[in-house]
Homo-oligomer: A and B are copies of this chain.
């Protein structure tokens, strides 16, 4: 029963690792906890992935590769539907937010790990972890920046760049610790309701993107070095 369990074991390790990394971060998650959760031997990790870094790399590539592709696909699909006209900001935001949030709404608590992992990774200090994502993220980033430039020609480029960071940041924060948000808002916000989150974020951020910069002076009581 080799061929049947081969993929099975690999997948089980990836699943367990994804959960552990999402819960405890890269340093906080131990391989021994992961293999216990996966029900395999410790050495199996090294047979399949070579090292803990290799395991993390595989975990990320399994999720972020398709995610990157879906990001680009959704955006291109919307652009095709727009028939050459600039996309409404709401659509661009939907293309930004739908793919990651859709992952959060997988069959009932099964794939919630990936969303927490996503949020975690975006803020993970580990340099090697960042390196894995840098290429993918930059391509997606550039695509959305270009779309926003087309739709909002009056907004300066630097402002758009800042605002993209704000969106990614808010998204990462939501995905990172949904439980915390639910507790802090006493249940008023339910991050598990991905459709609601999407609607809230599109409403909020589309208004922000359309705002013209006031170019206000730095606050008087604010000293910049």
* Residues of A bordering B, CB below 8 Å: 23-28, 94, 98, 101-102, 105-108, 119-120, 122-126, 130, 137-138, 141, 157-159, 161-163, 165-174, 176-177, 180-181, 184-185, 188-189, 192-216, 218-219, 221-225
Contact = CB atoms under 8 A, between A and B. Distances in A.
Contact of A213 (B162, B203, B211): B203
Interface of A is mostly: helix
A108 to B, nearest CB: 5
A121 to B, nearest CB: 10
A57 to B, nearest CB: 18
B203 A211 contact: yes
B181 A174 contact: no
Contacts of A130: 180
Contacts of A122: 173
A173 B181 contact: no
Given A122-B173, A225-B105, A185 B201 contact: no
A91 B122 CA distance: 29
27 contacts: A24-B125, A26-B28, A27-B27, A98-B219, A98-B222, A105-B225, A107-B225, A122-B173, A123-B123, A123-B176, A125-B177, A159-B203, A159-B204, A161-B185, A162-B200, A165-B170, A165-B173, A165-B174, A165-B189, A169-B169, A169-B172, A169-B174, A173-B173, A192-B225, A194-B222, A195-B218, A198-B222
